[in-house]
Amino acid sequence: MCGIAGIMVGQGADLDQSILRRMTDALTHRGPDGEGFYLGNYVGFGHRRLSIIDIDGGAQPMHSQDKKLILTYNGEIYNFQSLRRELEGLGHHFITQCDTEVVIHAYEQWGTDCVSRLRGMFAFAMWDTRKNQLFLARDRLGIKPLYYGTMADGSFVFGSELKALLEHPACKRKLRLDAMEDFLTLGYVPNPKSIVAGIHTLDPAHVLVKTYGTVGHRTECYWTPDMETRPSVVADEAELMDRLGEAVKMRMIADVPLGAFLSGGVDSSSIVGLMGKFSKNPVETCSIGSEDQDFDESGFAQSIADYFGTHHRLRLMSPQEGVGLVDTLAKVYDEPFADLSAIPTYRVCSLAREKVTVALSGDGGDELFAGYRRHKFHMLEERFRAPIPLALRRLIFGPLAKYYPKLDRAPQFLRGKSTFEALARSSAEAYCQSVSKTPDRERYRLHTPKMTKMLAGYHPHERFNQLADE
């Protein structure tokens, strides 16, 4: 990963280089291999680089050959080689071998529509001196982060992490209350909010355009999954493995050591097996185990490592070590994040970095393949919700949910409170509740009358309703 940061000052103001440097320095951990700056009259870019492709030729910020475009970019474009050939056929001349230059030429050829041709994970900023226009873009699934906001002095700022924006002296560090309510419900703050009022995250598959000297900016969605056409079902295991194989192979393009996180689960094991298929040397794998045998799954990872003949490394963690990481994780994540997996994830990243620069993981498998129990339970509830109007369900199941006791230690078939609550809600609201860290009945007990008044009826399921409507 790399780190990007930038400032567009308000009209009539001067660019303060020291602020830009502080913002960029806050991202040093993202890019230990080098730094670079672009300093214009009223726009400045900072970049911290982690070298992965074309180590000698990919320094940033990068200029177009006519010096009219300046790019600071974080990510990888997996189809950059085929895009480069297409652009060369259209008359473009390349100087480097890196994917960064492909982004510049793609913008020259297709303008802001270039993002629809990029296959990869990315967050970038392009300054177009011909139009006095700043262009921000984020990949389809939001793998790479991008924060932005307008400061009290009129400056528009952006960065890979919240900590970069907090370095700006005009940033007001004020808590956003509805974001805190989101966190208490979900365990994280969802896009496009941040925990700090006035700072936002650019939504996945969105671009932002801001012209110097104008008030505000515009954002647009450039891609969305097709929810109208019923998806084709993969015919057999061979076809599925071909698709996974293509995805893994594209992500192995690198000029630096590459490895994988291995838990021993189906998802990471599949990826490690496919990496071995495309690698000339044994795959570098690593995993974190627990000194508490009741929670240790390292034996599964070792079995997979032995089967595929990887160079496997294991490190054990104690519960005390996890407690000691709390302050560190607060600095890493910037925003509150209530997922215990953050602790072993931090440790496995540290372990991997001792040998490799890029590591593949199996995140997302359960979501893509409906691997959680909640997916099955939700669909069972849908059978009851579908034939009964919501108003009638609220009339029937609302009182049942309110008065039925919470029997956590009773047999499964007697634990009906959560089910009654779900049946009294819409599908989207019920799913929000199923992924909640803190159910409504418990969270509302934390609210003072003042807090309730300030929230003004806000509920985190509003975001779920919005996504369901889309």
User: Catalytic residue positions?
Assistant: 2
Q: Are residues 14 and 214 in contact, defined by beta-carbon separation less than 8 angstroms?
A: no
> Among 384, 372, 351, 356, which Cα is nearest to 435's?
372
Q: What DSSP element (H or E) covers 38?
A: strand 34-39
Burial 170-191 (b: 16+ CB within 10 A, else e): ebeeeebebbbbbbbbbbbbbe
Cis peptide before 336 (omega within 30 of 0): no
Q: Please, which residues bridge with residue 32 across strands? A: 49
- At 123, the amino acid letter reads A
Q: Which of 395, 393, 420, 392 is nearest to 406 (CA)?
A: 420
Q: How is residue 26 written in tokens?
A: 């806050």
Total Cβ atoms within 10 A of residue 333:
16
DSSP 367-426: HHTT-SHHHHHHHHHHHHHTTS-HHHHHHHHHHHHHHS---TTS-GGG--HHHHHHHTS-
DSSP state of 190: -
Alpha helices in 34-176 (DSSP H): 80-89, 99-110, 162-166
Rounded to whole angstroms, the Cα distance separating 455 from 451 reads 6
Largest CA distance in the chain: 72
